[in-house]
Copies of this chain bind each other. A is one copy, B any other.
């Protein structure tokens, strides 16, 4: 069997993981994607480690049955809470989260060592990023991470209020404590947040480098596929599959925000068993 021809599995609590899909379209245009968005149970960011881990195990089990060659956990909360357990339970398949790639990029970009981190309640509470910064920062000068949960950012994105006055106000409320610490890098620890980049930049200042983990994660996936000789080389343009656990209409219409004109590649399939 030619494993390289198998699809990449990608999952998220809902639609946020499409920021990762967009990067795959750009960096790995030959790859086939099987996406799962848990839109019936979204969001994960406000829920417990136990529940998020249970949901993630169910989804990886589903993707494994679909015969994917690699799985990307395109959700920060699931990566923060469940990645270790997923790797333990599914040893035969490489599973990549969004936290290590984002952390690595933040470490590369900071000059002052003062890094801001925003994410869901769950991601911040888990302290997974802090542990990852410690793990990856071997030998570098001191790093200080200032973190803040932004629970209203996901509903704002889902509402499509990307640049409203109210959105600025909420961003100021969340981000001004980080600004006061004079961070030089801000890591967006949630796959929804890149859609609020304009507002976030305006609040923290143009001099702060904003990092979203989608691009970094796909770079790492590319490296890994190259290393394992698993890049798809078939020239027939790939057919993607998008599964959602709630009715597909909303996913379809919101996908425009995330994918621009690429949204046409999406025809979500409703899975009623989740």
Residues of A within 8 A of B (CB): 39-42, 46-51, 54, 151-152, 154-156, 158-159, 161, 164-166, 169-170, 173, 245-247, 249-250, 272
> In the bound complex, do residue A159 and residue B169 qualify as a contact, i.e. CB atoms below 8 Å apart?
no
Q: Which residues of B contact A169 (CB under 8 A)?
A: 165-166, 169
> In the bound complex, do residue B159 and residue A246 qualify as a contact, i.e. CB atoms below 8 Å apart?
no
With A155-B152, A156-B152 known to touch, is A40 a contact of B47 (CB < 8 Å)? yes
Listed by A's residue number, 28 A-B pairs whose Cβ atoms lie within 8 Å are A39-B47, A40-B41, A40-B47, A40-B51, A41-B41, A42-B46, A46-B158, A47-B246, A47-B247, A48-B246, A48-B247, A48-B249, A48-B250, A50-B247, A51-B245, A51-B246, A51-B247, A54-B272, A151-B155, A151-B159, A152-B152, A152-B155, A152-B156, A152-B159, A152-B161, A155-B155, A166-B166, A166-B169
Within the complex, the shortest CB–CB distance from A85 to chain B, in Å, comes to 15
Closest residue of B by beta carbon distance from A38: B41
Q: What's the Cα separation between A48 and B249 when bound, in Å? A: 9
Q: What's the Cα separation between A154 and B155 when bound, in Å? A: 10
Q: What's the Cα separation between A159 and B121 when bound, in Å? A: 10
Within the complex, the shortest CB–CB distance from A88 to chain B, in Å, comes to 20
